[in-house]
Amino acid sequence: MKKAIIFIVIAALVLTITPTLIFAGNGGAGSQKTTLYNVSGGSSDNVIYDQPYDGHVIIVNPKGKNDLIINGVIRGLDPDSEYFVWVRNLTGYTGDYLFIYAPLGYFKLTSFMTNIEGKGSFNYKIQDSDLPDGTYNIQVAINTEVGSTDQIGKTVAATQWNPGLTIENIE
């Protein structure tokens, strides 16, 4: 009987302490979910906060193999169309990109297609070696190049700006 009680006490301690150690040891990893909003004038500077899209962006800071993982989903875009994901203020970023607009520190990172209902999603991983350690105040924007003669196009949706999304402790 005494051995059974000791076993139960030890098992209870292990079950209580183990999750605490696992979650405390994540090095500050976490994620932020934010809304995508309409913009005016085709510019990510003009976010219309009272006109959200049916969609969001999740920025994950896993503190490991990748510095940032950017996931998004959006509905209400033109059907069967190509859109581009831009991220503003990735100072020092040296990874792959499709185009860079240096005056705003904007990188066109990837593209996605919408389905026949105008829904699209994207996922982009920024490797640890491609982004210096630090804190970043970023904005994610969705652009279309339809009717445009340049590689920038016009912004149709964006996350908040001024301030942007603060991603801290990138290591």
DSSP string over 83-113: EEEEEE--TT--S--SEEEGGGTEEEEEEEE
Cα–Cα distances (Å) from 60 to 29, 37, 77, 141, in that order, read 8, 20, 24, 17
Domains of the chain: 29-170 (2.60.40)
Classify strands 66-75 and 120-127 as parallel, antiparallel or unpaired.
antiparallel
Task: Report the distance separating Cα 46 and Cα 157, nearest Å.
Answer: 10
pLDDT of residue 29: 62
Mean pLDDT in order along the chain per 10 residues (171 residues):
46 35 42 94 95 95 78 98 94 92 89 98 92 86 85 93 70 55
Instruction: Based on DSSP, count helices (H) and strands (E) in the chain, helices before strands.
Output: 1, 10
pTM (2 d.p.): 0.79
pLDDT of residue 27: 44
